[in-house]
Structure 1
Amino acid sequence: MTPAAAVALQRAAGNAAVVHALRDPARRDGPPTPVQRFTVVQPGDNHYPLKGVLQERGEERRGRGRGEESEEPEEKGEEPEEKGETPREKHEPESRTDEHFPGQKSRRRIVHRPRNKPKRLRSFVGADGTANIVYKGDAPLRLAANLDLAIEDTGSRRQAKTFFATLDRIDEANERLKQLKGELSLARTQKYLAVRRPGRPLILWQVEPVASRYSASREETIEQRGLDARFAQRCDSIAASISGLPAPEIIGERRYADAVADLLGGLSTGRSAKRSAKRSKRKLDEARREGARGAGSADALTRELGKIIRKIMVARDDPARKKALTELYAELGLNQFTPGVSVGDLYMIKALDRKAASGEVDYHFATVVATSGPDHVTMENYARHEEEETLSSGDPQWYFQMYGPQENNQSFHQQWGWEERFVPGSKDGNRLVLTLLLHR
């Protein structure tokens, strides 16, 4: 069956017909293994999806894929590959079902930074600036509740370079991305996952990014696809290029300040406290307006913001007031209680200390690129403080991640875990962490 025929069959007769055509003969008999509404499915489970590759010449490769370790000699000092991983240079992945899951992996290397001494640290790129791509044949999968989105469930030292989705989810995402007029679109490859469930199995196609930019010098649009795609390293820059929202960091900083003022107002009880909260918000607005006119300084705004942050921190660290603060987060749609998302929406998590300062770590953005009910996939990157020439463009370290509802501890805010990181007495310092959603 050719890819075109598979797509036509799916659109005409549904996913079940495609799965029946692709399924191994030995596995066609009998009812499919029931799949419940789970979050993560492990390799070897009975309901682990069937994997396959549709070749252009009509051949079909199927199988679960067991993965394999690299037999190549390792460079001196390089860490051994994890079980089930295959280095990119060993095999051509387009013809194998045991290399379904490309991911970038951090390895220790010496980084030569322009304004600092060379330092040995963990990096997702090699000395030549290319991403450390490692393929896995089998990997834990995070599945949407509707089973129409899937992504590798990675750890902290590995980041997914693709995800899987049904044609409907891909089409919906691309329609919205086109409306946003950003640089990103999504393309499916020949690889697929066949997710079996009672009634109607689903075909999820592997999805990779396509970066499209107009070149004035060449007078044409240049496209980069898959692992060749390049975006900005800075989280706000890549978010702007995908969502089409200019200067999200400026919008986000204002929203953070507004949220802090709203929190103070909501926490204030009694006439005196409420009057104090209103005065603080008024002073914050005045400092912002003065700064916009060039009549004031950024220091004035920072001082006013710091005063409010300190008051909220007192409430946050008071066990008797913690519940009230959590309820206020929910009322204002902050942190794990951010509202439902659409393709193009941006998450921003921001952390400021008692003086409204942040140091090297200030905020992080993530752009929603696919949705399925409460579950959604984002595309992200962040400044790694290693190679600075790709901060604004040309960086290969972008990745995908899936988030879900806060009831399952899978919200963007909970997964990033900054509230547990920036606490009193920690090495990173005590900060007020807020997550906001910027709608497009």
Structure 2
Amino acid sequence: MRDIVEGVWDALARSRPGPFELTGAEDVLPGPYRVAAAATASIAAATLAAGEMLRVRGIEPGVVTADTRHAAAAFRSEQLLRVDGVGAESGWAPLSGDYRTADGWVRLHANYPRHEAAICWGLGVPGSREAVEKAVAGRSAREVEHAVVSAGGAAAELRSPEQWAAHPQGAAVASLPLVDLSPVADAPKRTLFYSDRPLGGIRVLELTHVLAGPVAGRVLAAHGADVLHIGAAHLPRIETLVRDTNQGKRSAFVALDTEGGRARLKKLISRADVLVQSFRPGALERIGFGPSELAELRPGLVIAELSAYGWEGPWARRRGFDSLVQMSSGLAWGDPPSPLPVQALDHATGWLTAAAVMTALRRQVADGGTWRARLSLAGTGHWLDSLGRKEDVVPADVDYSGLLEEADSGYGRLTRVRMAGGLPGAQPYWEFGTRKPGVDKPTWTP
């Protein structure tokens, strides 16, 4: 796995990483893909990036560590979370799931009301699983995908790896880097305020929803950043995921569809150091928050953008989620579909985004500039596929109990996965548990 970490670090920093140690075996997660290796490598990369931020502060980071068992736990953190001893309910809506079509399989995503409505509208059926199954069974997978996506929903035909490689979007993803990190405007060099934590004094504005973006913010919070998550009161949320991914963050509501809300967002950005956003490509730009506007509003901002299918190609603006990208890209190829054992594309992209943000901050100290990092679930899937295969051995029950800790939260007493990645110079931790959405004011703390 060392070569995987070194490859990721080269993609991020164009250099060799500092000292690190990896422990554990890859058989902690089932399946032929090297998911445990990818999880461990992405966690190691983020922790190494935090270590380099410490080094900039004159603090020796020590030898970074990452363990496969802890990585597996971190990548299934939403499954392991307990609130007052009770496990999480299923996050899947009744209409979400895989459906057999006339010529294969298609996956429909209905976890949000607007996506469920798009399924019913696009297929011309009432909102029952039986009706959807009947409608889908008589059509081709591509026809179903097109009908639902055209109605504003989220769907994915199951494609083979070969079909994806030949697809225009598959070719576009293959041509893009795992992480696109580059300056987009000039800005003075960054001066760091004193802190004994990697991201002490760094303000992160998070405009994200499930799951990769919130994971990125959670990682940054664990390394000392002041992370403010912005949502909207009227938008639906998957509470199971919010409880898990909003560790250590403040949470406020801002209505971006109003003039007052956009003015509030401008004020927040003008004092932020980092913006992490997972809107579809072009969505923020349409309301006046494109990269050039952001660079003018806050010179020296680090802008991290996450998407489903990448920032180039015919699907650049397409809605997508981890499970759908797995179907489209061939990672779930099989009859029936065989998904990855965890939502690895989401989690890995989140950790890699955090690594990119910290790398950009370090570059700002040395060179200045407003920086932009772009990553995608499909790009992470392409990277995972490139790591090769392992023997598909079903692991014995993995004991995660030693990796869990308890914390108070707005929801009750949490039992959660402890922050992964060892950094002797400043071990990562969350200062507080999950706060309920919208309980904080949309302002920066002094």
Q: Which TM-score tier does this pair reach, normalised by the shorter chain?
A: under 0.3
TM (norm. structure 2) is 0.22
Greater strand share, 1 or 2? 1
TM (norm. structure 1) is 0.23
Which of the two has higher C-alpha Rg?
A: 1
Higher relative CO (Cα under 8 Å, sequence separation at least 6) belongs to 2
